[in-house]
Amino acid sequence: MRVNFTVNGRPREADDVWEGESLLYVLRERLGLPGSKNACEQGECGSCTVRLDGVPVCACLVAAGQAEGREVVTVEGLADYARQRAQGGCAAGACGTSLQDGRHRPAEGTGTGSQAGEGTELSPVQQAFIDAGAVQCGFCTPGLLVASDELLERNPNPTDADIREALSGNLCRCTGYEKIMDAVRLAAARQSEGV
């Protein structure tokens, strides 16, 4: 079947979709957006968290056909989404994005060079995750970023218990969560200072 929906502000179309495919599979394998991760595919880890019409959901549990006509924001579009929100103009990813949706072809390698990604504009939570040391293997990171960003959108000054509750659907196996707590606190503090 064919599925049309909006991803990170851009209308996208996927063809020959098998009816049992998840939104996650379509994003990753058909639209060249592998940022949302496939850690459990059973809604028990949060690594595939995306915004569906603004609401954080596990993309692995949304049937591809259910995304028809809807707005999806993935980690790839998070920086634009946050920027447009900060500028006061955007709801649920309806705004455009300049993001290049590139397939991860093998030739691109893993790009661990020190200059990789330099100059990329990041959202406050993305920057805070780097600065606080909240990223190790990074597989949980995209889902945590989408969930954290939504938390701070809803509740700009969360308590620690609020942060823990909001992120209780996102598993991380590397960090022991302490640096993730630091990152969200840092993003909240920077946000309130208007940095």
CB of 60 vs another protein, minimal distance in Å? 6
Name the residue nearer to another protein (CB basis): 86 or 130. Answer: 130
Tokens of 19: 């009816």
| Interface of this chain with another protein, residues 42 to 61, rule: CB under 8 A | 42-47, 49, 55-58, 60-61
Rounded Cα distance between 90 and 64, Å, is 24
Using the rule CB under 8 A, is 190 a contact of another protein?
A: no
Name the residue nearer to another protein (CB basis): 180 or 188. Answer: 180
User: 8: closest CA among 123, 125, 98, 103?
Assistant: 98
% helix / strand / coil in the chain, to the nearest 5?
40, 10, 50
Tokens of 21: 């495919």
Ramachandran region, residue 16 (left: φ > 0; alpha: ψ -120 to 50; beta: rest): left
Using the rule CB under 8 A, is 12 a contact of another protein?
A: no
Using CB under 8 A, which of the segments 88-96, 123-131, 185-193 binds another protein? Answer: 123-131
DSSP 100-126: ------GGG-----TTTTTT----HHH
Beta bridge partners of 11: 6
CB of 63 vs another protein, minimal distance in Å? 6
- Spell out, one character per residue from 150 to 169, where the chain touches another protein: x when CB under 8 A holds, - when not: -----------x-xxxxxxx
Using CB under 8 A, which of the segments 87-95, 171-179, 187-195 binds another protein? Answer: 171-179
Tokens of 147: 């969930």
- Spell out, one character per residue from 71 to 100, where the chain touches another protein: x when CB under 8 A holds, - when not: ---xxx-xx---------------------
Using the rule CB under 8 A, is 141 a contact of another protein?
A: yes
Tokens of 162: 């609020």
| Number of residues located near another protein, criterion CB under 8 A | 95
